[in-house]
Amino acid sequence: MIRINRETDYSFRVVFALARAGENARLPTSRIQKEMNIPRSFLYRIIASLGHNNIIKTFPGREGGVQLARPAMEISLLDVFEAVEGPIQLSDCLSEDCSCPLDSPCPVQKSLRHVQKILNREMAAIHFDSFVPASEIRLP
């Protein structure tokens, strides 16, 4: 079964919450945790991954919080996915160092590579601003 893991799903929620708050809005992590129903055990790891990959900026201290590192229109589902899980790879046979025992080029590998390219392209085309109608954007 191909499935986005729980940490990635929660990461999408963090970025969505920040996109919904509006450009340059800074939210406390406690608010995101509550509004997006994210367990604390995941939240800090997610914040670290997203911060390390320039999806969000973190601000420590009492008046701190997190905000998007760039406009929501510049952050795609693929950006967030790769920040948490790394590049999409549908099969081990698509890795550079795979030694396939079948004849090359393998028709299955060729088809999987095609599907993977489509998935990458589609996820890269979906940006977080598209999830938030202008009327829904709210400031903290």
Please indicate, yes or no, if residue 15 is contained in any of the structural domains. yes
Sorting pLDDT into bands at 50, 70 and 90, what band is 50?
Answer: very high
Distance CA 11, CA 20 (A): 14
Give 44: exposed, middle or buried? Use CB within 10 Å, 0-12, 13-18, 19+.
Answer: exposed
Q: Is residue 118 part of a domain?
A: no
Give the angle subtended at the CA of 21 by the CAs of 18 and 22, to the nearest 5°: 95
Q: What is the number of alpha carbons within 13 Å of residue 7 lying toward its C-beta?
A: 16
pLDDT at residue 31 greater than cutoff 90? yes
Q: With 60 as the cut, is the pLDDT of residue 135 above it? A: no
CATH assignment at residue 17: 1.10.10.10
Domain containing 58 equals: 6-87+128-136
Best CA proximity match to 50, nearest among 10, 23, 89: 10
**In the prediction, which pLDDT does 80 show?**
97
Where does the pLDDT of residue 36 fall: very low under 50, low under 70, confident under 90, or very high at 90 and above?
A: very high
- pLDDT for res 138: 60
Q: Does some domain include residue 115?
A: no
Indicate if the pLDDT at residue 35 is higher than 70: yes
* pTM of the predicted model as reported, rounded to 2 decimal places: 0.87
Say which residue, 61 or 27, is predicted with more confidence.
Answer: 27
Percentage of the residues of the chain whose pLDDT score is greater than 90: 63
Backbone torsion region of residue 22, taken as left when φ is above 0, otherwise alpha when ψ lies between -120 and 50, otherwise beta: left
**Mean pLDDT score, 57-66:** 89
11 falls within a domain? yes
Instruction: Kindly state whether residue 97 falls inside one of the protein's structural domains.
Output: no
